[in-house]
């Protein structure tokens, strides 16, 4: 599934609804016109691909995403799978690992929920803080079956960056090609040595919460990226923002999707990151992963 030439935002949600658990309408990202407007703005800045990691239990809406793509000109890759334990629907308890895998395989080979939009990615499948629960383990096992049958890559969620090493170990034990795996949210570890330990295993990683300074200051992300560039591991890192709230968007006076390009990239360039590394993270590495 080749990406279009240009910049890729590697971990986003065109629409997502986590409000039933978070008890906040802000976490129901369903602002269609405003999202189209921001994606159009990104398009003008050279962005051509959005990797949409919205899965079952997040109110996934493939037709909505397809329309946003058509109106904005953006190539949006859609996903299949299930998320973190507290967001898992009853389906996960009621079905076997094999039945869950079959649902993902259908999403990939036929279309998501009976639509003509096919999933081209598994995930973000998730672990909880410092652990993989029994139900999350079921999701991971089903994801491995679907991956082996379809060849589609896998992307993960780590809660605050934790349990990444254990995720990698799980994939190794289940004979998944680590070149087909990206471990998410590793910037939230604040620990460049931890991230380097993952990169040395051969997986891809994401600094995908750029701009979420309530979790981690972007200056810390710069510090980590500098250490990674010095160590020579520049070829398996993606950048993104993981926007999930209305208040993140410009119409609500949030930082907006363009913050990554307009604010973060100039800041890290000024801080010593090379243009070549930035080009790798935004363009070359995603192209290499989504061949």
End-to-end CA distance of the chain: 6
Distance of CA 113 to the CA centre of its chain: 21
Scanning 133-209, the segments in alpha helix (DSSP H) are 134-150, 164-173, 192-199
Scanning 31-131, the segments in alpha helix (DSSP H) are 32-44, 62-72, 91-94, 97-109
H-helix or E-strand containing 275?
helix 275-279
Cα–Cα dist 39/240, whole Å = 14
Q: What is the DSSP letter of 9?
A: E
Q: Which residues pair with 121 in a beta bridge?
A: 79
The confidence score (pLDDT) of residue 185 equals 98
Q: Are 18 and 6 in contact (CB under 8 A)?
A: no
**The pair of three-digit structure tokens given for residue 142, joined into one six-digit string:** 């089903």
**DSSP structure string for 66-92:** HHHHHHH--EEE-EESB--GGG--THH
Classify each residue of 248-279 as buried b or exposed e, where b means 16 or more C-beta atoms within 10 Å of its C-beta.
Answer: bbeeeebbbbbbbbeebbeebeeeebeeebbe
- Reduced to 3 states (helix: H, G, I; strand: E, B; else coil), residue 205 is strand
Q: Are 208 and 187 in contact (CB under 8 A)?
A: yes
Instruction: Give the contacts of 281 (CB within 8 A, at least 6 positions apart).
Output: 207, 234, 237, 238, 239
- From the list 94, 111, 104, the residue with the least C-alpha distance to 125 is 104
The confidence score (pLDDT) of residue 2 equals 79
Q: List average pLDDT for each run of 10 residues in the chain, which is 291 residues long.
A: 92 96 94 98 98 97 98 98 96 98 98 96 98 98 98 98 98 98 98 98 98 97 98 98 98 98 98 98 98 86
């Amino acid at each position: 599934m080749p990406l279009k030439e240009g910049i890729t935002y590697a971990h986003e949600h065109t629409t997502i609804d986590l409000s039933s658990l978070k008890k906040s309408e802000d976490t129901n990202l369903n602002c269609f016109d405003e999202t189209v407007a921001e994606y159009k703005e990104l398009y003008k800045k050279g962005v051509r691909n959005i990797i949409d990691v919205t899965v079952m239990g997040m109110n996934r809406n493939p037709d909505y995403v397809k329309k946003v793509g058509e109106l904005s000109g953006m190539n949006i890759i859609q996903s299949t799978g299930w998320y973190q334990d507290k967001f898992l629907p009853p389906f996960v308890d009621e079905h076997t690992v094999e039945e869950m895998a079959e649902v993902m395989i259908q999403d990939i080979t036929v279309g998501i929920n009976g639509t003509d939009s096919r999933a081209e990615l598994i995930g973000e499948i998730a672990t909880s803080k410092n652990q993989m629960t029994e139900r999350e383990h079921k999701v991971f096992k089903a994801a491995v079956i679907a991956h082996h049958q379809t060849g589609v890559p896998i992307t993960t969620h780590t809660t605050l960056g934790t349990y990444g090493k254990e995720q990698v170990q799980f994939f190794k034990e289940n004979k998944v090609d680590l070149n087909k795996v990206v471990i998410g949210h590793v910037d939230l570890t604040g620990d460049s040595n931890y991230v380097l330990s993952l990169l040395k295993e051969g997986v891809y990683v994401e600094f995908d919460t750029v701009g979420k300074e309530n979790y981690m200051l972007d200056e810390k992300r710069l510090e980590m990226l500098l250490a990674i560039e010095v160590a020579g591991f520049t070829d398996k890192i993606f950048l993104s923002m993981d926007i999930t709230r209305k208040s993140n968007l410009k119409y609500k006076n949030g930082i907006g999707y363009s913050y990554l390009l307009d604010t973060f990239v100039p800041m890290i360039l000024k801080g010593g990151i090379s243009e070549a590394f930035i080009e790798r993270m935004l363009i070359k590495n995603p192209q290499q992963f989504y061949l």
